[in-house]
Structure 1
Amino acid sequence: MADPVYRRILLKLSGEALLGEADYGIDPEVLRRLAAEVHALIDRGVEVALVIGGGNIFRGAGLAASGMDRVSADHMGMLATVMNGLAMQDALEHEGVFTRVMSAVKINQVCEDYIRRRAVRHLEKGRVVILAAGTGNPFFTTDSAASPRSVEIGADVMLKATKVDGVYSADPVNDDSAFRYERLTYDRVLDERLSVMDATAIVMCRDQNMPIIVFDINRPGALASIVEGENVGTRVERG
Structure 2
Amino acid sequence: MRNRPVSPSEHKNTQKKTRRRIIVLKVSGEAFGGGENPLDEKKISYLTSEIASVKGASIVIVPGGGNILRGESLKNRGYDKADSDYLGMLSTVYNSVCLKHALAKKGLRCRLFSALSIDKITIPYNPEAALTALRAGECVIVAGGTGNPFVTTDSAAALRALELGADILIKATKVNGVYSDDPIINKKAVFFKTLSYEEAVRKNPRVCDRTALTMLSNSNIKFMVLNIFKPGNIKKAAGGKCPGTLIS
- Given the alignment of the two structures, is residue 76 of structure 1 paired with residue 90 of structure 2, yes or no? no
Query: Which residue pairs with 2:46 in the alignment?
Result: 33
Equivalent in the alignment of 2:69: 58
Matches of 1:227 and 1:54, distance apart in 2: 23
Structure 2 segments unaligned to the other structure (5+ residues)? 1-19
Which of these residues, 10, 15, 34, is aligned with residue 29 of structure 2?
Answer: 15
Give CA-to-partner distance per residue, 1:101-158, whole Å, 9 cap, x none: 1011111111100011010011111111111100000111111100010111111010
Q: What is the CA–CA distance in structure 2 between the aligned matches of 1:78 and 1:46, rounded to whole Å?
A: 27
Read off the aligned partner of 2:109 and give its amino acid letter. Answer: F
- Is 1:226 aligned to residue 237 of structure 2? yes
1:23 deviates by 4.0
Q: CA deviation at 1:230?
A: 2.5
Instruction: Show the 5 A alignment for 1:1-239.
Output: 7-19=21-33, 22-41=35-54, 44-237=55-248
Q: Deviations over 1:54-88 (max 9, x none)?
A: 11112112211210111111111111111110000
The DSSP-based 3-state class of the residue aligned with 1:178 is coil
Query: 5+ unaligned residues in a row in structure 1: which ranges?
Result: 1-5
- Local SS of the residue matching 1:208: coil
State the alpha-carbon separation in 2 of the partners of residues 93 and 74 from structure 1. Answer: 29
Q: What is the match of residue 3 of structure 1?
A: none
Please report the RMSD computed on the Cα atoms of aligned residues, expressed in angstroms. Answer: 1.5
Deviation for aligned residue 1:210? 2.3
Distance 1:181 1:32 in 2: 30
- What one-letter code is carried by the residue in structure 2 that aligns with 1:168? Y
Please say if residues 86 and 149 of structure 2, whose CA atoms lie closer than 8 Å, have aligned partners that are also in contact.
Answer: yes
Alpha-carbon distance between aligned partners in 2 of 1:10 and 1:67, rounded to the nearest angstrom = 34
- Runs of at least 4 residues off by over 6 Å: none
| Cα pair 1:24 1:57 within 8 Å, conserved | no
Compare CA radii of gyration and give the structure with the larger one.
Answer: 2
Relative distance call for 1:233 and 1:131 in structure 2 (3 A) is same
TM-score of the aligned structures, taking structure 2 as reference length: 0.88
Aligned to 2:7: none
Q: C-alpha distance in 1, partners of 2:128/2:78? A: 39
Deviation per residue, 1:152-190 (Å, 9 max, x gap): 111101000111111112222333332211101111112
Percent pairwise identity: 39
Aligned length: 229
